[in-house]
Every structure is written in structure tokens, then in C-alpha cells.
Amino acid sequence: MPEMATNSPHRLPFDAAAASTAYRSALEVISAVEPDVAGAIRSELADQRASLKLIASENYASPAVLLTMGTWLSDKYAEGTIGHGRHTTEAAGPAPMPAG
């Protein structure tokens, strides 16, 4: 069994090797569709690993959070309070398609 690491602040165990494999697999999928986006993701990871960010609006997300952001859960978006959202089903048109 692979060694388990802990992830703060909740101290949940995760398998770093599995997270790395999932990350590489996700990048392969992205690269096949949008190579420039995959390159930007790789560059951002390299930058985060090489330097410390002291910007209050930047956060370092755990591998689990990063992978969750790429699921169907991220298809949902709402802004505002119940009944007063800025985006409603009547006003929202079709999502723009990526170039290419």
C-alpha cells in the first residue's frame, strides 16, 4: 500500500502517487483538446513550486480540490441571493465554445 500523506487543514489522508497519476491523466486530456491551456497549467504549477506567493488573493489548493474542480460539480454557477441571482435560466444563453 502506498504511503499516505496528510492534507491540512482537515488532515485527510490522500495517496500522493494516485493524485499525481490523476493530475497527469487530466493534463493529457486537456493537452489533446487545448495544448496551450495544458501548457499554461504546467507553467503555473512550475511557478508555484519555484516561488512563494505572498498575495492574499492567491491560494494553494490541495490535489483533491484541484481534481474536484474539474468534475461536473464545477458546471454549476450562481451569484447573488436566492431569487435575486445575476444569472437566471431565462437570461443565460448557451455557453461559448472554445476556439478551434
Contact indicator for 53, 12 with CB cutoff of 8 Å: no
Specify if 41 maps to a domain: yes
Specify if 66 maps to a domain: no
For 79, the grid coordinates are: 451569484
Specify if 19 maps to a domain: yes
pTM for this predicted structure: 0.55
The whole-number pLDDT of residue 66 equals 83
pLDDT tens readout for residues 50-66: 988 788 787 788 888 88
Specify if 32 maps to a domain: yes
Specify if 15 maps to a domain: yes
The whole-number pLDDT of residue 16 equals 77
Specify if 73 maps to a domain: no
Structural domain containing residue 39: 9-50
Neighbours of 62 (CB within 10 A): 15
Q: What is the mean pLDDT of residues 44-49?
A: 88
Assign 86 a pLDDT band (cuts: 50, 70, 90).
Answer: low
- Cα–Cα nearest to 67, from 33, 18, 8: 18
Contacts of 3 (CB under 8 A, 6+ apart): 16
Specify if 22 maps to a domain: yes
Count how many domains the chain has.
1
Specify if 71 maps to a domain: no
Indicate the helix (H) or strand (E) that contains 7: strand 4-7
